[in-house]
Structure 1
Amino acid sequence: MAVPKRKTSKARRDKRRSPNMKMKAPGLSICPQCHEPKLPHRVCPNCNYYDGKDVMES
């Protein structure tokens, strides 16, 4: 089994980890019915419309 000869420095360790730790805000689109922001390809939580149709009875 391979064993490292030297301790990995904090800078080298964190440089490797940093791209995976960045969180991105979700991309939002505007609902064509009520003009509220919503996640793309999902039913609008405000008016329950998707693709111009009422898909959930409220």
Structure 2
Amino acid sequence: MAVPKRKMSRSNTRHRRSNWKAEAVATTACPQCQAQTQPHRACPSCGTYGGRHYDAAERTAHQD
């Protein structure tokens, strides 16, 4: 396993990490209710995905 021989300076570390940026979550419009949802997920407002209705998506709290 490769091990660094010398300590990397703060400047070099920060320069290397300058491209570590967070990206905004992609959203699409739900075809049923037009609410903004994440792609490939059931709509949290109406609970549909791919023309099917899922009741589990409408629950907001974890139920035991």
Question: 1:10 is matched with which residue?
Answer: 10
**Identical-pair percentage:** 35
TM-score, normalised on structure 1?
0.75
1:15 counterpart letter in structure 2: H
Alpha-carbon separation, structure 2, partners of 1:9 and 1:36: 47
Alpha-carbon separation, structure 1, partners of 2:11 and 2:30: 44
- What is the CA-CA distance between 1:11 and the residue it aligns to? 2.5
Distance 1:2 1:35, change over 3 A: closer
- Name segments (4+ residues, structure 1) moved above 6 Å: none
Give the gaps of 5 or more residues in structure 2: 59-64
